[in-house]
């Protein structure tokens, strides 16, 4: 519990990580969001883009390094919530261009290797920080036990 502090509400708890500032740019926050919200055993992760939390900048090198950074960021949020990729039940993939779909699909398959969550993918007119990909996830604590 020391990795984050829970602010209880009647129905939900928002998870605020002590390292939240690492997930935004060093001098300005590009969005007023929590990294995840827990409702019972379900955890809703905010969309992640390819920002390196150490620098606050988008990773360079194209769609592949950006996508890997997205999954690293998702992994960090999942870990802080006591979850893994095996707990993810749904992902939504937002792409700046559907031309990147095959590449994202290949990389996606390296992080989800056993059971694949439900998924939707869309092309969008624009993403934060001119990202090429953003992925949001829903995870359920204890899904492996069910």
pLDDT in tens, 12-58: 344 444 433 333 333 334 556 678 888 888 999 999 999 998 888 99
Domain that includes residue 97, residue range: 4-145
CATH code, domain with 40: 3.30.1330.40
CA atoms lying within 13 Å on the CB side of residue 135? 29
Choice between 14 and 59, residue whose per-residue pLDDT is larger: 59
pLDDT above 90 (res 90): yes
pLDDT in tens, 97-131: 999 999 999 999 999 998 899 999 999 999 988 99
Total tally of structural domains belonging to the chain: 1
């Amino acid at each position: 519990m020391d990795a984050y502090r829970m602010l209880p509400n009647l129905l939900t708890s928002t998870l605020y990580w002590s390292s939240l500032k690492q997930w935004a740019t060093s001098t300005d926050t590009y969005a007023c969001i929590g990294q995840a919200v827990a409702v019972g055993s379900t955890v809703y992760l905010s969309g992640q883009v390819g920002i390196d939390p150490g620098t606050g900048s988008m990773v360079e090198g194209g769609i592949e390094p950006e996508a890997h950074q997205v999954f690293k960021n998702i992994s960090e949020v999942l870990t802080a919530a006591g979850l893994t990729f095996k707990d993810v039940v749904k992902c939504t993939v937002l792409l700046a261009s559907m031309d990147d779909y095959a590449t994202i699909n290949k990389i996606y398959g390296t992080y989800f290797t056993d059971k694949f969550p439900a998924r939707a993918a869309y092309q969008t007119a624009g993403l934060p920080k001119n990202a090429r990909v953003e992925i949001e996830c829903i995870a359920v604590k204890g899904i492996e036990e069910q």
